[in-house]
Amino acid sequence: MVGYDVFARYYDALTANVDYKGRAAYLKKLLEHLHHEPGIVLDLACGTGSLTLELYKLGMDVYGVDGSIAMLSKRRTRLTTWKLM
């Protein structure tokens, strides 16, 4: 996926306006409303891990999966910086 190698460099800048913290809070609230414990959460197509990180901060046991090695590499750098790996 050569296209994603280039795209990964700009992904965070292009999604800077996305409220990942708000999305994570909404998902947690939805689970609580449904009386469902999150257990293990799978973040499919996690990109560089913005939502993955926010779900983790809310206490969820979350795994981020993406088809792009470049995206996962950026996510790993981000999580290492936050000392989460």
- Return the CATH number at 27: 3.40.50.150
pLDDT above 70 for 80: no
pLDDT above 80 for 13: yes
Query: What is the CA 85 to chain-centroid distance, rounded?
Result: 14
| Structure confidence at residue 76 (pLDDT) | 76
| Structure confidence at residue 8 (pLDDT) | 81
pLDDT above 90 for 24: yes
Token pair, residue 8, equals: 């990964």
Q: What is the domain count for the chain? A: 1
Asked whether the beta carbons of 65 and 46 are under 8 A apart, the reply is yes
Question: What is the DSSP secondary structure assignment for residue 13, as one 8-state letter?
Answer: H
User: Between residues 16 and 82, which one has the greater pLDDT?
Assistant: 16
Q: Which domain range does residue 45 map to? A: 2-81
Whole-prediction pTM value? 0.81
What's the rounded Cα separation, in Å, for the pair 51 and 38? Answer: 15
